[in-house]
Structures are given as C-alpha cells and as structure tokens.
Structure 1
C-alpha cells in the first residue's frame, strides 16, 4: 500500500501513513481476541463467550437494539459503546434483533464468537435509533423533537467519486435541489438549494465554507429546514442549514481502513459544430438573408469538403484538437478509528489526483493540462480526562494544488465554442501557428504554447473543547467551552507566455508570404496571493438533560462569537447568545422552543439594526404511543409535528451604512505636486440597514407501517421572507448617484416535501427503495417597482426570479404576414424572423409587450434510490431529476455566427427557417447580432426537466471465513458510475451545465476497500 503511494509521487503521505498506522496498531484489538483459548501449556480450556456488536451500514454502533435469545429467552440491549455479552448463547441458538417492537433481523450463532451484525438505516426503526444531529454539536432522538430534519449517511456519500460534498447530495434529500453546472477538476460546481434557499454549511457545529474534503471522514449530513431547528443561528438561520458531522472513534469498534479507487472521466454533451463546408454554405445563406453578397465560392466549399488543401481551406474540429475524450480521477483514503475508556480517535488521510481534458505537447517540459491534486489530513481525538471532565481536539489540514495552461482552460474552451472549423489551420506549412486578421490567436497555441499557471491552496483547521459535568450541583447539568481557528491561503504562480500566429498568403504568381500577428514573448515568472483569510470562533455552553419519572427535560444556553477576516477587509464579526429547551411527557408529547439573539458588526451601533431576536416554538405528538392505537399492529410509528418561528439573514454588504468617498486619478485640479485628486462619491449610505427576516411555518406527519417496513414523511411549509434588501424601483435619476439597498422586499416560499421508503430482509436478501420529492412554489409579495401600465408587466405576484420577455408567436412565413403584423421598434422583420405577440394592441412591439415567460408552476426536484444485498453482493442505484423547470438559452452555441459574425455554427442551426422549411426549430440565419431574433423571448426558453441516472454501484464483499488466515476484517471490491444516463427533451444540451464551457463529467469508477 505504501509502495502504491510512493508510485503516485506522494512520499510524505506515505510517511504519515506509516507513522499513523504504527500508532493505531498499538491500540487495535480484534474481536477474535475476546474468545481465545489459553496457552498450549495450560491444562484448562476457557469456553468461548459470545460477544457481538450491532452497527449500521455506516459502521456506527447502534444504541437501543434489543437482542433476544429464542432458546433461553434472555435479552440484552446495546449501548453503542461496548460489545454485548451473551454468555449463555450456544452454537445453533437464534438471536432476534428488535427495536420499537419490530424484529429487525435474526442471527444464528455459529463458530464466530465475536460477530459484527449490520442493520440497515433504511429501516425506519433503525433510523429512529440514530441520533438527530442539531446545531452546536447537539443531538436528540428522532421521536423527541419537532424539528424538520433529514440526514444522509457516510455509506451513501462514498458512492459518488466527487471532490465536493455538495455534489454527493443530489437526489438524496427531500426539498434539496442540486444543479451541477460545471465538471472542472477540483470544482464540481454544484449549486445547492434547500426549499429554494442557499443553506448555510456547518461543520462540527461551526459555520464554515469548506466543501471539498474527504467524504470518508463524514459521519452524516443533516438538513435543518424549519424555524425551530435553525432559530439558534439567529441572523444566519433563514436559509436553513446543512450540518456536516465528521466521524468519531468508538471503543466498541476498532478499525483500520484503506480504499483505493480510480475512475475514467468522460465529458457529457459538447455542442456539435458544423464542419467547414457546412459552415461556409450556411454563412453564405446568412449573408444573403442580410442582403449581402456571399463570400465563399462553390470551389472553396468543395475544397473544405474534400480536404484537398487543408492549409488554404482548413477543417479543424477544435474540440477534438485541444481536448481528450477521457481523463482520470484517482483517490486513495486511509483511516483508522477506535479507542478505549480514556481516549477515542478517528484519523484519515486522503489523496485525490484528477486530470483535466486538455491535450498536452511532448515539446513542453512542463504540464499544461488543467490537473487537480488534493491532500487532506483529519484527526478527531476525544479524551475522558476524569469521570467528569472530557476534552476533544479536532484537526484538519488540506492542500489543494491546481495546474492549468497559461491562457486558462475556461478561455480556451470558450474559444472552442466561438471559433469555426475553417478559421485557420492549426499549423502552417512552415510549422508556425496558423491565424488570420480576424482570428489573431490560435487555440492549440493557447493550449500548449501559452506557458502554464498554478494555484496552491492551504487550509488549516483546529477545534478544541472541554466539557465538565456538574452532577454535584444537580444531575444532568453540564458546561462546555469550545474554541476554533481556521486559516486559508490561496497563491497563484504565473508562468505564461505570448506567441505569434501567422496568416499564409498566396499571390497571383504563387508566391508564399506570411503576415504576423502577435509576438513570441519570454515566459513570465510571477506570483500573487489570490486570497487569504482566517476565522476564529469561541463558544460557551450550559446544558441540562434529565428525566423525572414521566417528564423529560433538555435545555441548552450558549454564547458564541465568530470573527472572520478576508484579504484586506475589516473583520466581520457575529456575536450573540442562543438557546433551546425541550420537554416531553412519557416520550409521547413534546414541546420545544429555541431562540437566537445576535447580530454583526456591519450595522450601525445602537437602535434596532444591530441585534435581532429570533424565537421559534414547536410541538410533536407520538400518536402511536396512545392506547387507542395499540390494537392496530400494522401501525409501527406515527408522529405529528409542527413549528413556527422567526429567523434572520445577515446580508449587510461592506459597511454600507457609512458614506464613503474613493479617490480617483481621473481628474486633477491645479498643477504640479500640489494638484488635488478628485473624489468619487460611492452609493448613498443606508444608516437604517438591518437584517432580512423570515416567518416560517412547518407541519409534518411521519410514520412507519407493516412492522417498520414502510416509512413515510409528509411536510408542508410556508415561509414569508420580508425586509429583503433591494433598490426602490421608483428612485429618480436626477440625483446622479446610485441608491442604496433598503429593507423593503417581501417574498413567499411554500411547498410540500415527501419521502417514502421501503426496506425488508427475507431469506438472506435485504432490499430497499426510497423516493423523495419536493413541490416548491414561490411568489413575490412586494417589490418597489417602476411604473408599469399593464398587469402582465408587474413583477409583484409572480414567481421569485421570474424571467420576463416577449411572447413568441412562431416565425414570420411571408412578407404579407410581416406587413400585417405589429412593427418592431428599430427593426424591419422579414420572413423567418421571430414574431411576437402585441399584448397591448398598439401595433408596436416594445417593452410594454414583455410578460412572464417560462415556467410558472411549482418546481419539483426529486430523487429515488434502491438497492439490495445478497450473499456478499450489494447493488444500489440513484435516480435524480427535476420537473416543471425551464431554462433560458443564451450560451455561446445558442445562436449561429455570434462574435460580430466570426462565431461558430452548430448542428441545431441546420434546421433553420427557409422558404421550403417553414416548420423549422431555428429562425432564418443571420450574421452578428439581430435585435429582433436575439431579444429575450419565450422562443429561447427550453424545458429544463430531466431524469438522470446519477449513480449505480455494484460491490462484492469477500466472505469472512476466507479472510481468517490473513487477519483481514473485510475486503470489498466495487464498481460505480456517476452521471450515467440523462433523459431530457433537448438532447443537444446538458440540462444542468448548458451555460458552462466545461461540461459535466461521466465517471466510471472501480475500487477496493480493505479493513483490518
């Protein structure tokens, strides 16, 4: 294993691996040691004692599982810490594992006297055993909270070979929508919204911006959706939160794990360009449509077609020239966990090596591909210093290295989209780079001849805590102090260089000359700080958790402060207090309340704008505990819950309440050194700026039926966001300055989240299926609009972010139809142009005819996962998509001959309008910009609905009896694929990355997991 790491140029990681492994092995104690005979010199043989451990598929010990011996009738309950001692169990006895009155699994005692039994978290009963992760490193039982939460666990996250945590959440959580808009190495580019809001990312209790790190170190990601779960965040609670909890060690489970995996990446759906002959023919047609003479002769078009003179008549497919059909993604992860009564530990080392799509040249002694490497080290150590005092030290180190061509991958791929195949040859006959007066650069030279650039990111994170129980004062009372420090630095190194291109000219006599554009420059050598920042966090918490007979109390009160500095900006500090209290009676009725009282330093001192109070209340009723439902054996669990509260969102800008003036060298008054530099007034200050707010209502019903095989959750939410910052639409321009954002906007977000799950184990076959969907509706309640004389022009009452434009009414078919239609201001249409509806009937198409275009129905993100296990084999699949979504096409490949007429044309432009093709999908072609056809209109709206086979994984775990001699706990081989198949209406585009120059990747991945 270490040799493998050395082979991939990471000797330091190999050294760390040796050091950590050596340390961990001192603690590791395989369970087989619990049932050993005495030495061979002894005359006494100790009878083996059955000691089993109950875990879930994420390798987390479970608490509350009842194990009953059918023969003896004796039972024990797992505590999640120690292995269960079943001294009376004998070979052949059958053990039933149950929870909440349901049999979860059965186990027949065999020769293995230290088995590890795995229960699926897909079973609703097992899911109820797992703690619900809340804010500030707290947790509760699922049936003892009214909070709206949902979690995804480590086992599902690791099925996705991605770099960003957010990219692994697609289709997993109800109400969570994802859009992977780019597939660039090291930047999966996934936009994530939770009930139409951008959730706050919280890692181990602290808000952080980290999303690229080792997926194996994550225990769970929990979505907090409602007010009672997020109110403690105060001015950061309105958008909901994704609570990421990293893994901890356990004395009940010693483990060393190594995973090696490698994937082939393939780009999805590059736009297909026209070849040179097709391009020239269509270009001539566009010129004729614009009343101009064609520029390509029939002979030239034939030469493009047959390739008889590739220098004068080139036909270069630039995508194939500069990009590879596939690239690599390699990942190696080592982790170890375990502990004893004094300490628990989890450590992990992760290395990613991801190559890009750009081709390279052997002539270079340096790499010009857009590669990405990451090295991540995680260490979580918890210490029990005394019976009453515990502590923890959590460390994270991360190194991210990026490499790219000097010109930049984004710019290169953008030029690929814009450059026609016949623009110039890659090389001239004399070996120089091809170019021309119109194209004074060369894409291949940009790829391999522009030098290179590198980016180095360094992140360091350290969390510390001390916790002291205060049972001597009153049982259940505790206090905790926590501190954290985070530092980040990103540095760029530029070693780019310029290059010359040459246009080859042939005179009438056949003489060959070259015209030069640009110069061959020396390679630069400079560096600069891209960004740097640091953040410190302090927290003090007082907690209470106690049960008196039928009454259970849980309370939390904390004060915290987070201070962040980015670049040269002044610190951004959020300070305040928050709390939560919960009461339950007989674990049947639950009342909850939470609050946040905090604010930031970006608001003026004093008054109502500095700090805000954000309260929330909730209640839950475990209906299945009622006596009148006891006879209904088919009902396993039923909880009715709801919450209501006020939350906040901090969106202050950079000290916008202070009127600022920036100096400018644009004008100088006076002469010589005594001249006065002019001052530029910045936007008008808003001294009354304050935080945005939301009132949130959430109602839900959660349950399980048929012996906990079928589970369901239904939630309704209604959220009013108000005091939203925006400019007034009726501001006058007479002042001559930019007006500030003011707290005046109001939006409403409402919808329903649904989840349905089924899980069963029968005759050694365990299978499951889960479906989730979110119905998301939005509405603008108020915005200060400019005067709009017609109802269809009003933004108020429409969906939030609704697109407005002209409503297309097909294409003009005849000159007579053009003559009898409304006129277009500043343009004379012709047959084949887009025709628009004259909504106000004034005979003119202008801004008064713009109305909502695209989808006005609730958006529906959805996901479905299913899988099974049988005799060491496991198979899973994830489907993800969205319905009622429209997208506006405005990419570089949308219109033909962009870029002042020098742009590319694509396959979809073949189906353009002509007098003989009147039912075309594209208007008549034109050169450059067409103010009529390129106006924002419904013509360019496309269905964004899609269904994507997001992930499929097949695995095989080698039977334990085959591993006993090599002292390996388990070996699992697996293969998975991501972004395998996509079904959408417009097959020429990817429904997620249709605006990106770097396409989303399909990954085919194989790997090996070894556990000791």
Structure 2
C-alpha cells in the first residue's frame, strides 16, 4: 500500500517496510484525509454571526473554522472598528474585505498565514522608496510541539517591532527595511532565543526551537495529588519528561527509567518479548523476602496502576518520589518510593496530528562460545579419566564428529543456539495522536500498535492501545477531567514437553544443556533424543502458551471552586485486568533412527485454560485551599480515599486428547481432569492531609499526614499513622546573595523526616488462618473429602515501618545553564514481615512475623549542563548514587542460607555466601597437608578452600560473606547535540562495585550428551598446564563437581558500562515538508544495547540474576529506523 499525495508517493511510505505498511491502513486513511483538507484550505468558507464583533473575535473565528493563521501588528488593530455581521458559508476573502473596508488596511496570504498590513497608498514616500520585507517563522519546543504566546521582537536600524505567536506557533513581522537586526523570542519556561539576521531581499521562513529553562520559577513538578513549583519543593523528587523518552524508542516504562535518575535502580535480566520488564527499586532494598516486595508504588493520572498499564508514547511526565516528605501522603504503599506518571493532555488550538513509527530488528548478544562436538567429546573423556571412569567416546567417534563422515547423522556438530535463535527478531511500533481544543475544552486521542517478534520462533508480543483524555471547563469555577486507557496485549511463547514442566524456561534450559554431540535430526529426518528430550522437537511441535491480556483503566475527576480559594476535587477511578490463558502441550513420539521403531514418548498431550480477573476501585474526595496573606503563602489539602480490589482465577485442565489438532477443553476425556478456582479481596481506607507554607518563596515548610487501615491485618493492628515534615531555604532569595547571582542563579537547602508503611506480604490474609480443600481423611471404611489449615496465621502482625531522613541541595549556575542536585539520605525499615523457620513439630507453613530490620543510606548526585551557541545546541546530564544496604535485625536469629546467598545481620540483603578459594591444588602432598575437603577424591587440579576456623575440616562453618549483587554505585550519563536539523543523542548506564555468583552452567559443563563446555575450558588445569585459570575437568552432578560448591572462585566483578542507546536524527526543513501539508518531519536511527564494557565473562550478561544458571532468554541488540511526523 502506497499513500499518494498530489500525484506523488508520500516520502514517509518509502521509509517503511511492506509489513509495517500492512498494519497502517487506519492511519493511512486518516492521514490522507488530513492531506486532502490541507490541499483545499484556500477555498474554505466560514460562518460568523454577532453584533459589534471586534477584529480579534473575527480573526479567532477564522482560525477556528479554517486552517489559516492570522497575524497583525498590534498598532494596526485600533483602525478596525467593531462590526455587526451575520453571514453563512462565505469565503474568507469576502469576510476580510468587509472587515477592512475603509480602514486603510489590506491582507495577503503567505504559507497559509493571513497577514494584515497597510495599503501601499498609506505608506510614506520614504517607505515606498525602500523595499520592505517580511520576517516570518514558527516556534516549537524540543519535541516539535508548537508554542503559542511566545513574544517575538526585532530591533535594529531604528526599527522595533513585536508580535506574539499564534495557536500554531507562527509569527510574521512586516515592513522590515534592509539592514541587520537582532531577533529575540521568549516565553516563560524557556530560554530566550537570540539570533542576528540580515535583511537584504526576501527572508526565508524561520524554524525556531526553544529549549526549556531548567530552573524557571514557574516550572512545575508532578507530586502526590497535584503539582508544585520546583523552587517550592522540600522533598527529594526526580523527574523526566516526554522529551527524555522521545530520544530513544522504549518498549516498556520500567526500562525507560534505567539510568535516568539518581537512586532509581533498574535491572534488566531478560530480553524475551512480553517478559522484558526489569526490576526496579528506589534507594535500595527496603525489605526482605521477595524482591518484588521492594517495588515502588505506581500512580498513573491519579490512579494506582502498574507500569504495564500505559503506553510509553502516551507519557508526558514521570516523577519519582524518593523520600518520606514527598511520598508520605501515599502512606502504606509508599515505603519503596512512588512513581507518578501523567499522560499527555490536549492543547488549546487547531487539531494537531502526530505520528511516530519505528521498525527494527533484534539480535542476541553475549551468547556462549561452545566448543565443537569433537572437542566436547575429547574433554568428556578427559573428565571421566579424572574421575577414574572408563572413557565414553572412541577415537573413531571423535574422528567422525570432527570430519562429519557419519552419513547417518549420528555424529553431528549441532549448533543448538543457532537453530534455536532463528526467529525474525523484527519489531515495529506505530503511534498516532490527535490533540486540539479551545479555551473551554481540550482533548487528546491516541492509538498505538506494537509488534515484537522474538529471536526465538513463536516468542511474540503485541500491544494494541488507545487513550482518550479530555479537560472541560464547564464554568469559570467548575471543570471536569476524564482519562481512559485500554491496552490489549496478546502474548505467546513455546511450551516444552518436558515431563510435566511445560515452561518455556525449561526449553531454554535444555538448549543450553544439550551437547553438540546430540543430533538435532538424523539423516532420515528422525529427531535425535537425549535424556530429557529434544528441545528443537518441542519447539517445532507447535506447543504454545498463549495469553490475551486486557487492561482498562480510567478515572473522572472534577474541580469545583465553591468558595474563593477553596476547591472540592472528587475523583473516581477504576481498573480492570483480565487474562485469558491457553497452554496446549502436544505429545511427541521419538523413533529409532536405524529401525524406525518407536522409542521414547513424551506425553500425554494436555490443555490448561485459565481465566484471571482483577478489579480495582478507588473513590477519593479532596479539599484544597490556598490563601496568600501579604508575603505569607498557605496551601492546605485534606482528603479521603477508599480502595477495593478483588481477584479471581479459574483453571481447567484436560489431558489425553485424540490428536494434537483438536484443542477445545470439552474434547478432553474426564480421566485426569482437574478444575480449580480461587478468589481474594483487599480493602484500604485512608484519610490524609498536607500543609504547605512559604514566606516570600524563601522559607518553605511542608507537613504531611496519612492514616491508613488495611484489611490484611487484624482489627487491633489494622491502622497505621504516617507523618512527614520537611523544610527548605531558598538562599538565593536573600538580599545578601544578590551579588553572587551573576554566577549562582539559585541555591536551595532542604531537609526532611518522615515515616512510611509497607503491607507487601504474600496473600491478603496473613493475620487469619486459611484452609485448603483436597486434604481427604479416613472416616470408617471410606475416604471422605476434607479441608485443613496449611498456612499458619499471626493476628499480631502489623505494618512494616520505614523512617527516612534526607538533606539536599539544589543549585543552578551560569544563567541556569548548569544544574546541580545533591542528597544524603538514610532509610530505616523496621518490623519487616518475614516467615522465619519454625521447629519440626510445627507442620504448617510458617506464619509472618514482624521480625526484621533493614537500613539503606547513601548519596545521590545529578549534574546537568545545557547551552546554545548560535544554531548549535548541546546538553549533558550525569547522575550517580552511592548506596549501602544492611540487615540490622533478624529477631536474634539467622543466618538464613539459600544456596549461594544468605541473610545475616550486618550484611546486605541476599549477600553472596560460600567458601574462600585459595587457588588450585598442584600436588598430592599439598592436598595431604591441607584441611580435609568434602566431596569425592580430591586430586591435583581441584579448587583449594580456606579453613576459616582452623579445625582441619572444610565444612559449612567455613563459609563467609563473598560480596553483594547490590551495586555500591549506579550511574547514568546522557547527552546530545543539535545543529541545523541534525541531532545526536546518547545514553550510557552502568554500575560499579557489584559482585555476581557465576554458576558453571553459565560457562558450560562437561557431559556425555547433556552439558557442553565453552572455550574457557581450553585453559583448564592439566599436569602440562599447572598455571591454568580453571580447575581440572569434572563430571557434572558428581560429588567432586566444584560448580555445585559456592565459593569465591565463581564470584566475579560484575561492574559494567553500557551504551544503552544512541540516536541520530535529521529534521527535514519545514519549508520543504509544508508543501505537502507536513508541519514537522524527523527521520532517525536508534540503537539499543549497542555495546557493554565489563570484566564479567563476555557471554554472561552482568545484569543476570544472582547465581543464574544461564538458562534465560538473552539480552538483545536492537537497531531501528523511525520517523516523527506532525501535521
């Protein structure tokens, strides 16, 4: 499909692949209509009716009903008297002729702009002798959005003229004689634009981009239940805007936050479409147990939501509330910080259509470098000899692996990863938004489509989104806002036929484990088989796990000023999440490749259907009062909130279908069927308030209070009180500071204290005993159905309580071009909810107790510089956080050990734990003199462990702290340059002082047909290579397997620096694009995850989870080409 405009192929279409065009039918039809309207704009008619209408009213009507903009020097307006007019559907030219008749003025059209000017006969003789020119242009922000109301002023050669930009950001200054001038453009919130221009003939239409002022007194930041001027903030708040997101195409909001704000730590460890959201925590891990219990609260347009509930293209602003002063008003769910998202709103002015699109391809990065099959076989024989066993492969086997002479295919060199990661990896994104409105109502409507095909076949994720936001002022004192968003996200991934474990992760596990010595297929087409099966046979069988996710979220709020300064703001929010799942696992029959006889069978085939539904309802009522008394400014907020959520789940399972084609639940036999269902609910009731006070914007105070009640706790412990206090001092407002303001433009000190709560435990009923059905018992001679408690209850548990302290400084220098923010914070969490082990006689799952305490403390810094030199502009921003995490109490118990990690007072959460490696044994005499090590027969070439307590035995008492996966420092660096339409933006992100435990699976292992070694094993210990890096070869899953013994040998420095994104773009000059009705057109290249510097193993991602087996979907490099178009 090609879009034809005025007889030519649209240049946008040439940039897009055919597959992408096939998904753009709706967008193309709409855009074609817009082009048609633009082509006919000169013949548009208007309807005007009224008495004594001023010229401004008439010009405004013309702008509303047509695509024209009207510009006129203010000094000429007095000549046009009010007129009474009643016309219907007449041309614009006729209206203008009537209005200007007898005024000495005339009009002309240039570039769809109507210019009102003096008639030639009214010019002085001097004016008639000197040729006069017009300076016109358009003013936009960094995102290409038109700026209305900007002041445009030109001076020089005894000429001073000024005008403001119209709703389309356009201006026109007429009757400018030849000469040199200074053009100045300014508006509050943006840096002033100055340019030297020379008039000597016709002046090209100017395209001006204004950069935001980083420290404007009127700049606002989104906070809890409203906004605040940046200069009035006393809490720790970081924020990014749509401009920051536009510089890189992001697939989800979580990953968009990585590296952008100090103290906001995002870790990506999975590149699978639909499962690529990273983990996020703010200022450290504030609790124990599950890491997602440290996830922040998310609020989207005032509604508690998930980061998955919003299209990144719809986002206008993201604020992160990091301390209690900024987050305490959210109370019980704000202990881990709050992410506040506001979506884009409609803007006053003509309809503006914006279209974003990009298409790209993914490629796996950091994949293992496995040895070929003949070397794997050779190394396996060596490992068997080391264990005193017989060799597995003969010399003939090894020769056939090496030269491929076995025509049956029984001695292959199967590159399992290449076959597995053979998906297209193509992804595309389309976003279309329409905005507009007038003084009374503004609207935004958007459509989004995202399609990501994974690098593994059938790992696909799509998202269809739509959003409608409207603001309506029904009267000067009453307005209504409504927000509604919907996302439909179908998802699919392959499923394995592995013995009752259909998870895709099991298929990935097998791909990394099955040796190159195992045939993918024999020469006759039969699948190879080993141990657990053939992962490629599973993949190609077509077993799929599908999910259809629906999310509908919206709210309606009003603002009624029923008394001067007193506003009543009710709000009703609702969210519905529905997931329909279908998992069908096909059975597979394997055959003997020589005889064709059936051998192994993996089955039976089975189907699992799930239906999940989660609803959330929120009712709020706010009272807000603002009062100024001389230089004293007061602002009060009081509110009530009531929340209710309900979750239901139903599961149906059938097995033994007649074939792998019929997949309806009622086609499955009754034998082996199971049906299950569950439901739970949660309620929260809250009252809260906030007081803001400042004196002359110099001395700032803020107090917050929230009182929460949660149904998770017993009535006696249900309620929690969460206060906070903060203060600030704008030093730059003092008289004594005036002399320094030429260098230091602003300087503010702030400090805060507050308490926050956390109720994040597993399940909604930890305080009461719960029972489970299916626990049958004997009654007489029969088995009777029964229920019994399975999880212990503790009615005495209550809120986790987090107390935070923060001291911060905000400053700007060099005419606000340089910004600096620094914070020192302490975050103490007490009454941490834990399930501590209980003695053997207690048969139930341990109940929760308020039994732990965790401390996070550290520094945060953010520095930014932005400047423009003529047409060259540039910026650079850097942020860094230094955080120390420590467990301070476990109720006198511990340590609690889990494989290679442990929880212990005095150490970070989930610290690495194991033995200290002292090197590699070189001789039997060295082994004899060393403490006795557990395992099989210890021989030269094995790892030597340190006897910490000197008792002569290496056992559990010799394990120690080995480091923390939580980085000592995280940082981000982003910047960009722009010159004559070309812009380059880059973004680096990384971590320092982080350790990771590398299991041998990540490096490869030696096995017969299961497990395969990587190239690092070429540097293994042998008598001929005693200085090798790695120990002698071992057989996996034996007592002498060092990979099963966590030790410092496997703990490596996982610090890294990653070029997360690089974007290079070109903005086509407006004078070219406007000829085809396009106001702004940008084309760009973007690369994601381009390269990484790390001392970690080259094929292991440094962000991999602690102790990760390596069996995960890899991170991907993404190269994309995209366009931004505004009509």
TM-score normalised to the size of structure 2? Answer: 0.81
Correspondence for 2:911: 802
Correspondence for 2:209: 118
The structure with the largest alpha-carbon Rg is: 2
Q: Is the 8 A contact 1:716 1:751 kept in 2?
A: yes
Distance 1:708 1:303, change over 3 A: same
1:549 to 612, 626, 630: 630
Q: Is the 8 A contact 1:878 1:952 kept in 2?
A: yes
In structure 1, distance between residues paired with 2:166 and 2:71: 20
Cα deviation code 1:684-725 (max 9, x no counterpart): 211111110111011111111112121111111011111101
Q: Is the 8 A contact 2:984 2:1062 kept in 1?
A: yes
Cα deviation for residue 527 of structure 1 reads: 6.0
Correspondence for 1:313: 411
Q: Is the 8 A contact 1:76 1:84 kept in 2?
A: no
Q: Is the 8 A contact 1:350 1:377 kept in 2?
A: yes
Correspondence for 2:484: 395
Correspondence for 1:572: 682
Distance 1:96 1:627, change over 3 A: farther
- Secondary structure of the 1:531 match is strand
- Secondary structure of the 1:631 match is helix
In structure 2, distance between residues paired with 1:759 and 1:118: 14
The answer to whether 1:233 aligns with 2:330 is yes
1:457 to 538, 546, 549: 549
- Secondary structure of the 1:952 match is strand
In structure 1, distance between residues paired with 2:433 and 2:323: 35
In structure 1, distance between residues paired with 2:786 and 2:647: 29
Correspondence for 1:427: 521
Cα deviation for residue 604 of structure 1 reads: 1.1
Distance 1:727 1:294, change over 3 A: same
Q: Is the 8 A contact 2:894 2:904 kept in 1?
A: no
Q: Is the 8 A contact 1:266 1:326 kept in 2?
A: no
- Secondary structure of the 2:70 match is helix
Following superposition of structure 1 onto structure 2, how do residues 126-525 of structure 1 map, counting pairs within 5 Å?
A: 129-136=218-225, 138-197=226-285, 198-211=295-308, 213-252=310-349, 254-309=351-406, 311-324=409-422, 327-359=425-457, 369-407=458-496, 409-423=504-518, 425-435=519-529, 438-439=530-531, 441-470=533-562, 473=563, 475-505=564-594, 512=595, 514=597, 516-518=599-601
In structure 1, distance between residues paired with 2:206 and 2:624: 37
2:799 to 680, 684, 691: 691
In structure 2, distance between residues paired with 1:344 and 1:108: 37
Distance 1:330 1:761, change over 3 A: same
Q: Is the 8 A contact 1:269 1:989 kept in 2?
A: yes
Name the structure, 1 or 2, with higher relative contact order (CA <8 Å, separation 6+): 1
Distance 1:354 1:341, change over 3 A: same
Correspondence for 2:1022: 914
Correspondence for 2:821: 713
2:142 to 27, 43, 57: 57
Cα deviation for residue 907 of structure 1 reads: 2.0
Following superposition of structure 1 onto structure 2, how do residues 636-785 of structure 1 map, counting pairs within 5 Å?
A: 636-652=745-761, 653-665=763-775, 667-672=777-782, 675-677=783-785, 679-728=787-836, 731-785=838-892
Distance 1:279 1:1001, change over 3 A: same
Distance 1:911 1:12, change over 3 A: closer
Q: Is the 8 A contact 1:532 1:566 kept in 2?
A: yes
Q: Is the 8 A contact 1:623 1:639 kept in 2?
A: yes
Cα deviation for residue 463 of structure 1 reads: 1.4
Distance 1:573 1:442, change over 3 A: same
- Secondary structure of the 1:1003 match is strand
TM-score normalised to the size of structure 1? Answer: 0.90
Q: Is the 8 A contact 1:28 1:254 kept in 2?
A: no
- Secondary structure of the 1:921 match is coil
Cα deviation for residue 293 of structure 1 reads: 0.9
In structure 2, distance between residues paired with 1:84 and 1:548: 40
Distance 1:85 1:599, change over 3 A: farther
Cα deviation for residue 795 of structure 1 reads: 1.8
In structure 2, distance between residues paired with 1:165 and 1:902: 39
In structure 2, distance between residues paired with 1:140 and 1:775: 28
In structure 2, distance between residues paired with 1:856 and 1:249: 44
Q: Is the 8 A contact 2:387 2:1034 kept in 1?
A: yes
Distance 1:772 1:794, change over 3 A: closer
- Secondary structure of the 1:878 match is strand
In structure 1, distance between residues paired with 2:738 and 2:981: 38
In structure 1, distance between residues paired with 2:300 and 2:28: 25
Following superposition of structure 1 onto structure 2, how do residues 567-646 of structure 1 map, counting pairs within 5 Å?
A: 567=648, 568-605=678-715, 607=716, 609-632=717-740, 633-646=742-755
Cα deviation for residue 186 of structure 1 reads: 2.3
Aligned positions, number: 979
Q: After the TM superposition, which of the residue ranges 635-644 and 61-70 deviates more from structure 2?
A: 61-70
Distance 1:93 1:156, change over 3 A: same
In structure 2, distance between residues paired with 1:755 and 1:168: 18
In structure 2, distance between residues paired with 1:383 and 1:7: 41
Q: After the TM superposition, which of the residue ranges 291-300 and 82-91 deviates more from structure 2?
A: 82-91
In structure 1, distance between residues paired with 2:26 and 2:903: 65
In structure 2, distance between residues paired with 1:832 and 1:669: 62
Q: Is the 8 A contact 2:376 2:1006 kept in 1?
A: no
Correspondence for 2:8: none
- Secondary structure of the 1:432 match is coil
Following superposition of structure 1 onto structure 2, how do residues 66-145 of structure 1 map, counting pairs within 5 Å?
A: 94-97=182-185, 104-107=192-195, 117-121=208-212, 123-125=213-215, 129-136=218-225, 138-145=226-233
Cα deviation for residue 336 of structure 1 reads: 1.2
Correspondence for 1:905: 1013
Correspondence for 1:35: 71
The answer to whether 1:845 aligns with 2:936 is no
The answer to whether 1:45 aligns with 2:71 is no
Distance 1:504 1:260, change over 3 A: same
- Secondary structure of the 1:518 match is strand
Following superposition of structure 1 onto structure 2, how do residues 992-1011 of structure 1 map, counting pairs within 5 Å?
A: 992-993=1103-1104, 995-1011=1110-1126
- Secondary structure of the 2:106 match is coil
Distance 1:261 1:101, change over 3 A: closer
Distance 1:196 1:89, change over 3 A: farther
Cα deviation for residue 677 of structure 1 reads: 4.1
- Secondary structure of the 1:238 match is coil
Correspondence for 1:364: none
Cα deviation code 1:302-344 (max 9, x no counterpart): 1100111152212111111222275101111111112101211
Q: Is the 8 A contact 2:327 2:337 kept in 1?
A: yes
Q: After the TM superposition, which of the residue ranges 657-666 and 812-821 deviates more from structure 2?
A: 657-666
Distance 1:493 1:736, change over 3 A: closer
Q: After the TM superposition, which of the residue ranges 701-710 and 89-98 deviates more from structure 2?
A: 89-98
- Secondary structure of the 1:295 match is coil
Distance 1:579 1:692, change over 3 A: same
Cα deviation for residue 129 of structure 1 reads: 4.2
Correspondence for 1:970: 1080
Cα deviation code 1:451-474 (max 9, x no counterpart): 44432111212211121112xx3x
In structure 2, distance between residues paired with 1:702 and 1:64: 30
Structure 2 residues not aligned, in runs of 5+: 4-12, 39-62, 73-91, 108-114, 118-134, 286-294, 497-502, 649-677
